[in-house]
A = this chain, B = another copy of it.
Amino acid sequence: MERQSLADLAAKLRTFASERDWDQFHSPKNLVMALSVEVSELMEHFQWLTEEQSSGLPPEKLQQVREEIADVLIYLTRLADKLGVDMLEEAAKKLEVNRGKYPADKVRGSAKKYTEL
């Protein structure tokens, strides 16, 4: 399988929907619901595991998780494409913002964001 990019995936999903005349169902409102449902199908695999167990999934379980992650990426890519959003650019910008918000030398150790009970 040749090397993929997010842009390739978006293009393929566009063709896929168009060939099936499914574009009519792919309003952003519907797509975000589908995205949320797929994330829950992914989350279901982790709900009764301890954190430690979640870091060492057995192969069969990991395979199911892989497939759920694929579904999540598919709906996220489709939604971003319908809205004309460049996800990678937005994520890079957000990461810059977060760098300013959580300076490494200030938050290290304390990790306040996480422990602020």
Residues of A within 8 A of B (CB): 1, 4-6, 9, 12-13, 16, 19-22, 24-25, 27-30, 32-37, 39-44, 46-55, 57-58, 61-62, 65-67, 69-74, 76-77, 79-80, 82-83, 85, 87-95, 98-99, 102, 104, 107-109, 111, 113-115, 117
Contact = CB atoms under 8 A, between A and B. Distances in A.
A33 B80 CA distance: 19
A104 B16 CA distance: 8
A82 B57 CA distance: 11
Contacts of A107: 20
Nearest to A93: B70
A29 B13 contact: no
Given A37-B40, A70-B94, 19 more contacts: A6-B6, A13-B95, A28-B57, A32-B42, A33-B33, A33-B46, A36-B39, A40-B41, A55-B82, A65-B83, A66-B90, A69-B90, A70-B87, A70-B90, A73-B88, A73-B91, A74-B94, A74-B95, A77-B91
Contacts of A70: 87, 90-91, 93-94
